[in-house]
Structure 1
Amino acid sequence: MPSAAAVRAFLRREYPDAKPAEIDSMAKDVAAIIIPSEIHQKLSATYGGRNNPVQLQQDSKNLRAALERDIETIRPALKERGLTDGQIDEAKAKMHQLNHEQGLY
């Protein structure tokens, strides 16, 4: 998280001379969380056609906020699956840390 498309858009702005393969390589280092596919398909703001150009550009300009929104969107479903707020917050903090270490914010 956030979406790979938003990360690639961010990286293209940050590294305008980078080749597409370099952007793709850097984008794969974004933090991720494994969630059941039905949660992703049903709730993700960026799944499939829901990741429209306006959303993508907005997210690419603030990847931290995009991650926050994405986690909070799926939080109720994760809690229904038995995760606690503490576990979700811990995962979110780790993702922020990894994304920060990768230079995404």
Structure 2
Amino acid sequence: LCLVLCDIFIIPTLLRNYVEFDGKGNLLIVFGFQKATYPVSKIRRLRETSNPLASLAASFDRIELRIGYEELMIAVKDKEEFFAEIERRCPQVEIVRRASVSKSR
């Protein structure tokens, strides 16, 4: 019974785990039963991290997002593509790489 209850919470996390841009200028983050939408224009900073804290990420190769005064971590399949898309949609964003700052406008 305990394993079945754990599966009820773990399986949706594995099946529903994605980040996408909607047609309204928002970033949609879905992680299991959790779903959050943030305006791309409010993103202030992206930072590569491998922080093991609990977050909306199923990987330790994460991106920390600073949105307004809120911070959250996500994981995406292609970080370079994600960074490029964020840069295109929100030119004022600061992107901090592990080794160095790649862009700061």
TM range (shorter): under 0.3
Q: Which has the higher strand share?
A: 2
Structure with higher RCO (Cα < 8 A, 6+ apart):
1
Q: TM-score of the superposition, structure 2-length normalised? A: 0.27
Q: TM-score of the superposition, structure 1-length normalised? A: 0.27
